[in-house]
Structure 1
Amino acid sequence: MTSTATKSSYPDRPRKALCRNPFLSIKFFVFCHGLLQLSQLLVSGYLKSSISTIERRYGLSSQTSGLLASFNEVGNTLLIVFISYFGSRVHRPRFIGCGAILVSLAGFLMSLPHFITGPYEYDQSIASMFSNTTDLCQPEGLESQGNLSDTVCAPHTARENHEVLLVMFIAQALLGIGGVPIQPFGISYIDDFASEQNSPLYLGILFSVTVIGPGVAFMLGSAMLRFYVDIDKITEDEVQLTNKDPRWVGAWWLGFLVAASLVAVSAVPYFFFPREMPKEVTSGKESGSKKSEDLLSQLRSKSEQVQNLSLAKFIKHFPVVLLRNLRHPVFLLVVLAQVNLSAMVAGLATFMGKFLERQFSLTASFANMIIGAVNIPGAMVGIVVGGAILKRFQVSLKQCSAMCVLGMLLCLLVAFPLLFLGCPTQKVAGVTYGESSDFGLPTLECSFHCNCPEKAYNPICGSDGIEYISPCHAGCEVVNIDKQFSPELHQLQLHLQKRAGGLRQARDLRHRLLPPPPALRGALLRGRDPRQHIPHPVLHAHPQEHPARRQIVCRWDTVHAAENFSVDARTRSVRQCHRHHLHPLGEEV
């Protein structure tokens, strides 16, 4: 066993002096680069964890938010090939540091809309709508009173957020541009100056951070979205909502500040790393060391030849290198596989949280916690098991490819049942559903003489799973409120008009605290803010059979979209009927 060391840029400097300087250690570079990659992934991944909250805050459509989430790839895709090609002619650590500064700036810009817009204004007029008959059924002759839903929605229909979108798109473009030199230059720098034995280990650490990073971003989103969006502008006592309320908007901007600050701190050491550092010293067999020295000397001579080329010749040589790679079938197949894998992961990561929120009535914070809690252990197990298999069986390149194919097939089989999970499309009376309900009447017949405006929006949900866009469309005429229980639990008394039988008065009915589905029951008992466990009242219309008559008892749902939503955005944001909570009330109440 002999110790060997390749020639470096510091031939006359004592080895002890080199060891005392951390910026001449490849191990310290690996540590710094792992921290930087994790911080960068926090910035890019945090947007995906808070995408539904940003939609709710600024009334964005899923199409717009999806474009925003993918816009950082535009700058990255346009520049990464050229920047990577010029890597041999530049100071790679400093380029990495400059890219990190751009990423940090992008993170701070992403939080800027919170500071340039006014406070979040949610709909606080629930009680007034209860006591104001203008939002209920009005027989003919009373239509001159107007409708509250129109007055609420009209001012906000034309409200747009061009400034917010412009700032966010610029930030995403900077994020993509800043991320270009970080991974390619970091990997090449480690590969050049790490020993042959340790280089795979160092690169494996970086790839592990890349896999775990998005999960950490979702956990950060889960923590930040528990705080109210205007936590810096109002006190906690002034917040009248819990994070289970559909009007709740979490502090989406706070996570960007945290992640951007981490990137800024991680960028500092790169300006102190040299352009070249001494090759890492390792122990190995003499024959192996000799081969390594020969290979490294060949690579070094080629690198020197490239650096000696003029800039014009260097640029002219670029198409030749690009075409040579594009004609390589194995390279093209690897790129195609990575493109498809990235497309699948990007779409899943961006909208999985929103899917969980809408389909299973979860809070944004809890949905992010689920994704992060599943992603991180899964990534760690995959990395450890994969590395153990490779080391134990010394698999070849073809066997590694076969393992990748087997893993993808396993993912496909596990993901296939997702096509059949979730709730059916919500039935909205007069919008997506026009058949007869379980009450035996056409779904809109109860509001035939109510003069309900087309733009009324104040959704209620029936026990038959049919959603009505307002109490007026459900035929509710009068409501009396008894707030003796809590601000969110009301005892209601409503008159309902039915085409066949005039006015009938409903019984007094308190909100029944219906239990959550078993799958969520354990999750709802997790230790958090006690205010999160306040039950949600949902407006239901329950049929009650009596020998002489049939009546419908309406209960109000406190689902109200934020005031600054447009009509279309508010419609998209409706929390679906809690079909797993509904059941006919057959007993006397």
Structure 2
Amino acid sequence: MEEIEKRIETRRVRCLTKMKMFLLAVTCAYISKTLSGSYMNSMLTQIERQFNIPTSLVGFINGSFEIGNLLLIIFVSYFGTKLHRPIIIGVGCMIMGLGCFLQSLPHFLMDRYEYESTVSVSGNLSSNNFLCMENGTQIFRPTEEPSACVKEVKSLMWVYVLVGNVIRGIGETPIMPLGISYIEDFAKSENSPLYIGFIETGAIIGPLIGLLLASFCANVYVDTGSVNTDDLTITPTDTRWVGAWWFGFLICAGVNVLTAIPFFFLPKTLPKEGQMDNDDVLKTDKEEKHTDEVKKEKDGITKDFLPYMRSLLFNPVYMLFILISVLQFNAFVNMMSFMPKYLEQQYGKSASDAIFLIGIYNLPPICIGYVVGGLIMKKFKITVKQAAHIGCWLSLLEYLLYFLCFLTTCQNSSVAGLTTSYEGIQHDFYVGNTAFADCNMACNCPTKIWDPVCGDNGLSYMSACLAGCEKSIGSGINMVFQNCSCIQTSVNSSAVLGLCNRGHDCDMMLQYFLILSTVSSFIYSLAAIPGYMVLLRCIKSEEKSLGVGIHAFSTRVFAGIPAPIYFGALVDSTCLHWGTLKCGEPGACRIYDTTNFRYIYLGLPAALRGSSYIPALMILFILRKRRLPGENVSSGIVLVKKKLTGKDNEYTDMQQNPKFVNDEEMKTKL
């Protein structure tokens, strides 16, 4: 008797250990995949400047991850449950590592990055050809040679980043549906929300590490080690600066490969966590599994695919939840993809500082919210209907707080000829090319080159030439321009490189925006786990993996792919000044109309999210009169437990004598 009990306890501990090993491995996989994803999102502006491409094309590159994902998501979600799920997840992690490596390749195949500038970095400044000289010859004018323009514009090095992102999306496909279904199949129903909460926490730790890595890389010049950084005339706050975006992708590749290793040592199946098991039950389970395998081989693996699809499509709660997810993901993808650019343009922060602030202020409260949400679900045994109400009303509260962000505004950077006149009067609208004024009319300056300087009068100019500067001292970033005819001050008419600072008021507005973002992130993440449990429990257990896969497929097709593209095109429409390639063709945008940018960045997600509460309220109404499959399972478990505990003496005898009942009776009672 003691030997049997020890054997049962040993097997139970072993099963629990393997479940915890799988939970740890999946959490690490979530960390690695979200590390790569957050790093990619944070480097979008660096990629845009490196390849001199518009924001809409960068959005397409970002959405290519979803293209790779949706190519396999439904097939992996359905067929993956029939195969060895841990090994499939491990192979996916290896493929993600390959994709990250491909994304870094263009740096090693391209020439050094050259930014547009009217200032020579060679150190030979005796001629001062870049300053205001009447009837002078400007050596920095763009070449008009068509072949040079075609060669630069038609450069397809960014295709490596695109293909690498597609491959990374293919590799990420099995992690979520197979990982979640594995836990749902072999974990206790009351433990499942807590486990999923831990996994989602890993999905927040990954972006935190990714954002910190991106912040570091964005602060390091792209060609560091190959060029003398002392000769640079730009700083990380300049919109022409490109950080070492390629370095982080190499780190992400290594992390993904290392994460794949544990999955190759995990079993295909596990006994249900907490299930009473002895030799007879295990023997019966093996016989049932063997019978099921024979039946599957006989009937075919795709026999249930169409019935499952039909059942899901006619499930009103499930379909409405997909509609909500599509609308919410459209808003979420847009905000997260372009948040670094928004902080750069709205508050004048460098890409490195913007990425760092996002990681510090947004991700910790999201991580805490996921864990707290899972604990609440476990401790108070929240039902599906209660979870739906919690998710809906908490999300609505956060949505109302979101509108306060419209008040955290900064004025456009004061750039003479773009946002203000040369007298310092703010323009209400963009009025076209007003780069020339009486003070620089005779300077023979180019108007397309973006090389801003800040005058002593607090006004920025598109170049030292357009500021009317006639003389310069110093070199590199410490260069000072003097005798500037357009800068009217009582002391000195001088300017330095870079845009002028926005001021203390703008810094305070940034703090208010970040505080609101922190509170909103916590409330939204607190509602995420209850909302996700509604998705898992509104479908039958045998349809769960396919249901999660279709949900992910829908959000990618209707949100993940199109959202960055159309949002990027809308952002491009607010550009005030485009960068210039060597041939004179437009490159990446250098400065935006911050007012219109703010309306698009905050207004469009607000409209999308607002429309998602209509199907949310419909779900609450349907749940009032509908019994979900998850509730049936729970009630069935309760009834079985009551039957097992109804007769104490019989139950005690059964524990003391395992042979008290035969195989069929034991099977019936369990």
Q: TM-score, normalised by structure 2?
A: 0.65
CA contact (8 A) 1:220 1:255 kept: yes
Q: CA deviation at 1:563?
A: 7.5
Read off the aligned partner of 1:494 and give its amino acid letter.
C
Read off the aligned partner of 1:335 and give its amino acid letter.
I
Residue 590 of structure 2 is matched in structure 1 by: 573
1: CA distance, partners of 2:325 / 2:235: 41
Read off the aligned partner of 2:480 and give its amino acid letter.
H
3-state SS of paired residue (1:257) = helix
Relative distance call for 1:401 and 1:307 in structure 2 (3 A) is farther
Relative distance call for 1:391 and 1:30 in structure 2 (3 A) is closer
Residue 49 of structure 1 is matched in structure 2 by: 42
User: Does residue 399 of structure 1 match 2:386?
Assistant: yes
1: CA distance, partners of 2:496 / 2:132: 22
User: What is the CA deviation profile of residues 503-529 of structure 1, one whole-angstrom value per residue up to 9, with x for unaligned ones?
Assistant: x999564769979526649999xxxxx
- From 20, 29, 50, the counterpart of 1:36: 29
**Structure 1 or 2: more helix by fraction:** 2
Read off the aligned partner of 1:376 and give its amino acid letter.
L
| Gaps in structure 1 of 5+ consecutive residues | 6-12, 284-288, 499-503, 525-558, 578-589
- From 171, 175, 188, the counterpart of 2:168: 175
Matches for 1:64-463 after TM superposition, within 5 Å: 64-122=57-115, 126=119, 132=127, 134-137=129-132, 139=134, 142=135, 145-146=137-138, 148-150=140-142, 159-160=152-153, 162-231=155-224, 233=226, 242-281=235-274, 305=292, 308-310=295-297, 313-315=300-302, 317-424=304-411, 438=425, 444-446=436-438, 447-453=440-446, 455=448, 457-460=450-453
Q: CA deviation at 1:220?
A: 2.1
- From 494, 498, 507, the counterpart of 2:484: 494
CA contact (8 A) 1:494 1:505 kept: no
Q: CA deviation at 1:490?
A: 1.6
**Structure 1 or 2: more strand by fraction:** 1
- From 471, 487, 502, the counterpart of 1:480: 471
User: What is the CA deviation profile of residues 128-158 of structure 1, one whole-angstrom value per residue up to 9, with x for unaligned ones?
Assistant: 797656545555xx36x34633359995685
User: What is the CA deviation profile of residues 29-62 of structure 1, one whole-angstrom value per residue up to 9, with x for unaligned ones?
Assistant: 1111111111011111111111111212221211
Relative distance call for 1:209 and 1:439 in structure 2 (3 A) is closer
Read off the aligned partner of 2:470 and give its amino acid letter.
V
Q: CA deviation at 1:225?
A: 2.3
2: CA distance, partners of 1:73 / 1:226: 28
The alignment of Structure 1 onto Structure 2 pairs a total of residues equal to 513
User: What is the CA deviation profile of residues 452-486 of structure 1, one whole-angstrom value per residue up to 9, with x for unaligned ones?
Assistant: 55545544567888765445555x1x5222339x8
1: CA distance, partners of 2:506 / 2:425: 27
Relative distance call for 1:161 and 1:270 in structure 2 (3 A) is farther
- Farther off after superposition, 239-248 or 506-515: 506-515
Read off the aligned partner of 1:150 and give its amino acid letter.
P
Q: CA deviation at 1:126?
A: 1.9
Read off the aligned partner of 1:482 and give its amino acid letter.
I
3-state SS of paired residue (1:573) = strand
| Gaps in structure 2 of 5+ consecutive residues | 428-433, 512-576, 595-670
Q: CA deviation at 1:402?
A: 1.3
Relative distance call for 1:215 and 1:496 in structure 2 (3 A) is closer
2: CA distance, partners of 1:162 / 1:127: 25
Q: CA deviation at 1:99?
A: 1.0
1: CA distance, partners of 2:128 / 2:298: 77
CA contact (8 A) 2:445 2:465 kept: yes
Relative distance call for 1:372 and 1:304 in structure 2 (3 A) is farther
CA contact (8 A) 1:34 1:206 kept: yes
- From 27, 50, 61, the counterpart of 2:54: 61
Q: CA deviation at 1:102?
A: 0.8
1: CA distance, partners of 2:149 / 2:260: 42
3-state SS of paired residue (2:484) = strand
Q: TM-score, normalised by structure 1?
A: 0.73
Q: CA deviation at 1:340?
A: 2.0
CA contact (8 A) 1:84 1:184 kept: yes
Q: CA deviation at 1:417?
A: 2.9
Q: CA deviation at 1:360?
A: 1.4
1: CA distance, partners of 2:145 / 2:50: 16
